[in-house]
Amino acid sequence: MPNYKLILQYDGSRYRGWQRLPDSDMTVQGKLEAVLSRCFGEPVEVQGSGRTDAGVHALGQTASFRTQRDLPPEELLAALRRWLPEDLGAVRLCYAPPRFHARLSAVEKTYRYRVWTTEAPCVFARRFLYVLPGDYSLPRMEAAARLLEGRHDFRACSGVKTKKSTVRTLKRIAIFRSGDELDFDFTADGFLHHMVRILTGTLLEVGRGNRPPESVTELLRGGPRAAAGFTVPAKGLCLMEVRYETEEGKEQSL
């Protein structure tokens, strides 16, 4: 039974998220499974590295799936590129080791959130940016980011209540400007629901002077959602990269 590994990118604007839904065919997983099932002539269930929300995009989503039939990866990749909608693209496809699982084997993910900071129009990137004009202090946001990095209880940065552990290791936060655009990159061993969007909203509040940088330490004690900042919209968020551990124990990008 072959195991495949697929790298995807998609514009999430018109999708109701990654996860297959019983009442809609407008999900990334649903579209992908429909095409793969057509290719193999059998039902195919796809596992993603994470369940991106409605409106969230991906530049480097990873998926895996097992099938009864064996189709050459190059043939299958060509079929996916021919039959998938134009806002859902198959980038790379290969055989995976038998035990590889897109979600369970992941060791690190990076998300980017993009903010447009002026009133000037940004027509061609409007579906991928959150427009929030204002003056933002990069030193203040970077000071807060350093406090957020590390292994903490990020319950205050979760959009849902859960009995499962909310401890995560936030390895890096990079904040950088490109003209009128302000970008936030978050790399962690895993993310809670809405975690990146809540952290971004919190850092924007710090950057605008609405809260001091040191106030973010209140988020790291497993406190209530009210301790964190606002949740920014989904459309500015993109899954950039998922990393896995090789047999030699080193991380690899896919």
Residues marked active site are found at 53
Neighbours of 16 (CB within 10 A): 18
Three-class DSSP category at 10 = strand
Is-contact 108 251, C-beta < 8 A?
A: yes
Is-contact 242 49, C-beta < 8 A?
A: yes
Write phi, then psi, for 76 (nearest 5 degrees).
Answer: -65, -40
Listed residue (128, 126, 106, 115) closest to 241, CA to CA: 106
Is-contact 107 244, C-beta < 8 A?
A: yes
CA distances from 241 to 49, 81, 189, 210, 218 (A): 10, 20, 12, 32, 29
